[in-house]
Copies of this chain bind each other. A is one copy, B any other.
């Protein structure tokens, strides 16, 4: 993972974040190591019977990845003055949910992707049946982790579970994926630009945005946020989440399979509805910049001190891999 002043968004990082690039990189590396350790500690060992599913779960989860969702939860909890250490398992549950969604999306019946993060996808290695069940198991495990005992007001923990669940349900993340599939199937059948734009926004806000927003909300709820802080975190998450997805569209357009480690240009080849394909690359870049400003304004309302939330939003919108 490189931190690169790419052409996607032009702005002054130091001005926006107040945190030096090196500091953010260390922060991300530190938190990522914590998340990785929690994942390794709490996932069932690969040899637990029936071992094949535990191997498949670990294969997909431990394949790498930026761990952006748990790190967002950590940063949100810190911004609200929360103590993060006892919550790492709960925050790592976000990565299980993210991974389950990738495993199922990659299946032949869905996106039919053979490569992910430069490695063979779960169904290629373990077969379709085991990939389906491993995805199911990761989602289940996530709720088990979210319900794990922690010295907190249990009402907050219940709210946290509910918040995550509704973010990834049939009206949230899964709904976004369904709308995406439907959009591909009906491709070309509508030339109503306003309708296409509304559909695209629904897909983006739900497929990626809801879990990212739930990530900062989870950090806030378990980190002791006030209602006002939760409102600000929600605004931050929605803006950063939408920016993240538009950047993803831009990356797909610009990158090659070699640097991305997945079949790039695929969206375009499929004539898939994306932000740049609908609004153009320049408008997409401007939108990312505007969303980052919104995220910054919202993050400023979360806490008085400097937080890593802005720098992270900034970072995920300049990622090159």
Q: Which of A158, A177, A182 has the most CB of B within 10 A?
A: A158
Residue in B closest to A137 when the chains form the complex, CB atoms: B170
Residue in B closest to A131 when the chains form the complex, CB atoms: B109
A165 touches B178 (CB 8 A): no
Q: A52-B182, A136-B136 are in contact. Are A141 and B170 (CB under 8 A)?
A: yes
Quick check: which of A77-85, A148-156, A248-256 contacts chain B, the rest being far away?
A148-156
Identical chains in the assembly:
2
B162 touches A158 (CB 8 A): no
Q: Roughly how many angstroms separate A107 CA and B107 CA in the complex, as a whole number? A: 13
Q: Quick one: CB contact mask for A97-120 with B, threshold 8 Å, 1 for yes?
A: 000100010010110000000000
Q: Quick one: CB contact mask for A32-67 with B, threshold 8 Å, 1 for yes?
A: 000000000000100011101110010000000000
A178 touches B132 (CB 8 A): no
B162 touches A148 (CB 8 A): yes
B50 touches A179 (CB 8 A): yes
Residue in B closest to A127 when the chains form the complex, CB atoms: B109
Interface of A is mostly: helix
A161 touches B133 (CB 8 A): no
Task: Give every chain B residue within 8 A of A149 (Cβ-Cβ).
Answer: 158
B139 touches A147 (CB 8 A): no
* A143 interfacial contact with B, CB 8 Å: yes
Q: Roughly how many angstroms separate A109 CA and B107 CA in the complex, as a whole number? A: 11
B165 touches A140 (CB 8 A): yes
Q: Quick one: CB contact mask for A3-47 with B, threshold 8 Å, 1 for yes?
A: 000000000000000000000000000000000000000001000
Q: Determine how close the nearest CB of chain B comes to the CB of A299; give it in whole angstroms.
A: 28
Task: Give every chain B residue within 8 A of A44 (Cβ-Cβ).
Answer: 170-171
A162 touches B175 (CB 8 A): no
Task: Give every chain B residue within 8 A of A158 (Cβ-Cβ).
Answer: 147, 149, 154, 157-158
* A201 interfacial contact with B, CB 8 Å: no
B129 touches A141 (CB 8 A): no
The 6 closest A-B pairs by CB, nearest first: A109-B128, A144-B165, A154-B154, A137-B170, A147-B162, A147-B161
